[in-house]
Amino acid sequence: MQFLALIYDNETEMAAKSDEWKAKNFQEWMDYTQLLKDAGVFVGGDALLPTNTATSVRISDGKVVATDGPFAETKEQLGGYYLFECKDVEDAIHFASKMPAAKTGTVEVRPVMVFDQ
């Protein structure tokens, strides 16, 4: 089964951290990614640029409306994701709990709906 782990954290707080902290944190993410690969559950994952680069898209009265910024104002912002291949949700939670962001933010784990081709 595939699970998407959505990574939420406070991007303003993260940006204010020291360069030393950021370097250490980056290495923690690289180590975490290697752990997933070694365990054979890594399917993919990426970090996202800050929310000030986001564009929200809607259709209103048949016209495309593109608005700068994220969909909603929140304390924590979506900063990236990992896609896992796990045997069950407990296995996905186990790997999500090892993420560096689980200590500072929130990791949302959701099963991926897979459609037959």
Residue 6 pLDDT greater than 90, yes or no: yes
Task: Tell me how far the alpha carbon of residue 63 is from its chain's centroid.
Answer: 30
Tokens found for residue 99:
């993420």
- Could you tell me the residue range of the domain that residue 24 belongs to? 2-111
Closest of 36, 14, 38 to residue 26, by C-alpha: 14
41-69 residue pLDDT tens: 999 999 999 988 999 899 999 999 998 87
Which CATH number covers residue 21?
A: 3.30.70.1060
* CA 108/CA 117 separation, integer angstroms: 27
Is 62 among the domain residues? Answer: yes
Residue 116 within a domain: no
pLDDT score of 117: 67
Other Cβ atoms less than 10 A from the Cβ of 2: the count is: 16
Model confidence band, residue 9 (pLDDT cutoffs 50, 70, 90): very high
Phi-psi region of 110 (alpha: psi -120 to 50; beta: other; left: phi over 0): beta
User: Structural domain tally of the chain?
Assistant: 1
